[in-house]
Structure 1
Amino acid sequence: MASDSGLTSLGVDGASAAAHALSLPADAYGNNPQVEVMWAMKAYNHAEVYFNLISSVDPKYLKLTKVDDQIYSSFREMFKDFDIKLLNPDDLKSDEAKTTWRPFCNQFDGVIEDFNYGTLLRLDCEKDYTEENTIFATRIQFFAIEIARNREGFNSFVYTASGSKT
């Protein structure tokens, strides 16, 4: 992963250039390792902020998007029995899963900004982001699963374990 200095080591001009680079379409780069590192840093920073948020605010009160209700309803309609407490990577990454997830995800194109960008997602909702407990998912998959975890009480464990009061 990135060093402790992260984006701050780039300075203002470097960070601005990195932000601009991350806004360009993926096909503009090919397999540029520097861009991959910037994406990884962005995904890691998002994960860190989110985990800190659910550790300090009761997750049942969180609103992650303007369309949380729509995301949650559609998710539970399409994935009635999906285990959100402990994710099985095959339920997100197998060819069969991709076929099922694709229509769900695509309905949020134009609704959720960057709906298909890569995001880190915890496999076991009672644990922090670690190499063993993290999978790469699309942003809309992250929203669907984390909104469900928040509403159904599964992320309350993190909040309670952090010493916050319910």
Structure 2
Amino acid sequence: MDVLTRPAEEFGNDETLEHLWAARAMEHSDIYFNVLCSVDTRWLRLTPHDDLIYTHFKQDFPDLNVSLIKENEIKNSVNKVKWRMYCEKFKNIVEDYSFGTLLRADTTGDYSEQNTILVPRVQFYAIEIARNREGLNNEVKKKYKCASKANMEAQRQSEIAA
């Protein structure tokens, strides 16, 4: 994984690097989903900068419905520029602020191909901090509370095999 910290100019369009990025993003999503299934998310802190991220998010995107994110809305030409400006505020504050991170579009679902959007890490933090503070992610815990890690792993292995 050390290769992921090297300058992008060294790689061009290296397929191996793309697979490493995807693997790291998947690992992050697995860990985060397990956390959501385990705790009361209203008290969950994702970074030491949650308050700052949340304050700026609410100022810059006061009307964004965080329970259901529509990719075409957050990535249209107008909002793409707004999000880029938002993310740049955290360039020197949040580690890996622009790292590609998987975000669930709908808070009632898990990570799946249909329910996942690739976003910069700080955009993930902004939306997930809002979801946590508003209690929206606690529905995941209720819906998936009976799924043991062993069952989740077995399901994931069967999806990989398919």
SS in structure 1 of the partner of residue 118 of structure 2 = strand
> Runs of at least 4 residues of structure 1 off by over 6 A?
none
Letter in 1 for 2:92: G
Decide which of 68, 76, 79 is 1:86's aligned counterpart.
68
Farther off after superposition, 91-100 or 73-82: 91-100
* 1:23 partner amino acid: T
Unaligned residue ranges in structure 2 (runs of 5+): 147-162
Q: Which residue of 2 aligns with 1:55?
A: 37
With the length of structure 2 as denominator, give the TM-score of the two structures.
0.87
1:138 paired with 2:120, answer: yes
Aligned to 1:98: 80
Deviation at 1:112, TM superposition (A): 0.1
Aligned residue type for 1:160: K
In 2, distance between residues paired with 1:103 and 1:137?
14
Tell me the TM-score normalized by structure 1.
Answer: 0.85
> How far is 1:156 from its partner?
0.9
| RMSD of aligned residue pairs (Cα, Å) | 1.0
Name structure 1 gaps, 5 residues minimum.
1-18
Q: Which stretch of structure 1 is more off in the superposition, 153-162 or 45-54?
A: 153-162
1:97-122 C-alpha deviation (Å, 9 max, x unpaired): 11111111100011001101100000
- Quote how far apart the aligned CAs of 1:163 are: 2.8
